[in-house]
Amino acid sequence: MTAVLEGLGVAVPQRVVTNLDLERVLDTSDEWIRTRTGIGERRVADPGVATADLAVEAGARALKSAGGGPVDMVVVATTSPDRVVPATAPEVASRIGLEPVAAFDLNAVCSGFVYALAVAAGMLDGHATQRVLVIGAETLSRITDPADRSTAVLFGDGGGAAVLRRGEPGESGAFGPFDLGSDGSMADSLAMPAGGSRRPASTSTLTGREHYMRLDGKAVYRHAIARMVASSRAALDAARLSAGDIDRFVGHQANLRILDAVADRLGIAPQRRVVNVDRYGNTSAASIPLALADAQLAPGQRVLLTAFGGGFTWGATTLTWPRLATV
């Protein structure tokens, strides 16, 4: 038995913030952002729009793409939940009209969607679950310091969702084995310092701008390449595939240079890699489904997915692209 993809949906805010918009408010330049990251613009949610709103929209679209029907479980991968307590997923399930299904959040930062797919596949393998709605949604703009040029240019908002059902290996849409990993010794390299039990909110955390993400770009950059390469190799090995079998490479959309380096080290030709970081920036847990939806994949194409994020966390898997209804 394996998990099979049968629906995909996305939701992005209408508002576009270009590099030129950022040039006006920050000591940065379109040239710096493009050459260092490949990002040209990103979407930003209007005030009042939260992660659950994007998750509901993307989730409903994925269900429509899958032809409707019941699901047993909703997993929302997010780093920017509506609230610390409770989780975002129960509200999302309820608003889509799915209650009383099992619903929970999963935080693996930018690897969240791949982790959530793996969890869903495991639940489907347990046979008590028939169908899972997996959502990756973020409003990173809420936890990004608009005055910090080292992060403000990188992140964007968005959501994406997939419906997974139980199926057989070799079926169209079937996922291969998953490789997942983490290295908590690097936790501080991409972190929001305050707001949790370690440093609860206080006047000093607010004035210190500790409720925004902080990034050690160089450390993340280095590890991202090494881990995504190793994880991709492990997922390929487990699926008994080689890089030459891969038609399209969908890596976490954080930085075009990272995508290029990972594809190059794996021996995947540049034209096979999917790129939409230029239009959305880094949308963390939403990045993989947004890239899948953008990639114009053809049924039967063999796809390699890999992601890396704060934690550190990473993961990879393969799948054979199915015929999907677009909504």
CB of 310 to ligand UT7, least distance (A): 6
Ranges of H-type helices in 183-216: 203-207
- Alpha-carbon distance of 90 to 99, in angstroms, equals 8
Cβ-based neighbours of 100, under 8 Å, separated by 6 or more: none
285 closest CA partner among 182, 137, 103: 137
Residue nearest to ligand UT7 (CB): 217
Smaller CB separation from ligand UT7, 173 or 251: 251
From the CB of 254, what's the least distance to ligand UT7, in Å? 4
Chain mean position to CA 294 = 14
191 binds ligand UT7 (CB under 6 A): no
SS3 126: coil
Q: Which residues contact 204 (CB under 8 A, 6 or more apart)?
A: none
The amino acid present at 177, given as its one-letter code, is P
Q: What are the φ and ψ backbone dihedral angles of 272, each rounded to 5 degrees? A: -90, -15
Shortest spacing between CB 224 and ligand UT7, in angstroms: 4
Q: CA-CA distances (angstroms) from residue 76 to 133, 167, 199, 206, 277?
A: 8, 22, 25, 28, 22
Contact 2, 320 (CB under 8 A): no
Query: Per-residue x/- marks for ligand UT7, 33-72, CB under 6 A?
Result: ---xx-----------------------------------
Question: Least distance to ligand UT7 from the beta carbon of 272, Å?
Answer: 20
Quick check: 103 binds ligand UT7 (CB under 6 A)? no
Binding test (CB under 6 A) with ligand UT7, winner from 56, 110, 239, 262: 110
Can residue 153 be called a binding residue for ligand UT7 (CB under 6 A)? yes
Crossing angle of helices 287-294 and 112-125, rounded to 10°:
90
d(CA 285, CA 107) in angstroms, rounded, equals 9
In angstroms, what is the minimal distance from the CB of 211 to ligand UT7? 18
Q: Which residues are catalytic?
A: 110, 252, 282
Residues 6+ apart with CB under 8 A from 324: 5, 6, 7, 8, 65
Per-residue contact string for residues 304-323; x = within reach of ligand UT7 by CB under 6 A: ----xx--------------
Q: Does 221 bind ligand UT7 (CB under 6 A)?
A: yes
Are residues 257 and 36 in contact, defined by beta-carbon separation less than 8 angstroms? yes
Taking CB under 6 A as the rule, which mask of x and - marks residues 249-268 in contact with ligand UT7? -----xx--x----------
220 binds ligand UT7 (CB under 6 A): yes
Contact window for ligand UT7 (CB under 6 A) among 31-39, 63-71, 84-92, 178-186: 31-39
Tell me which DSSP letter residue 167 carries. E
- Regarding 114 and contact with ligand UT7 (CB under 6 A), the answer is no
**Residue from 198, 218, 271, 296 that binds ligand UT7 (CB under 6 A)?**
218
The single residue among 34, 64, 149, 214 that binds ligand UT7, judged by CB under 6 A, is 149
Residues binding ligand UT7 (CB under 6 A): 28, 32, 36-37, 110, 149-150, 153, 217-218, 220-221, 224, 254-255, 258, 282, 284, 308-309
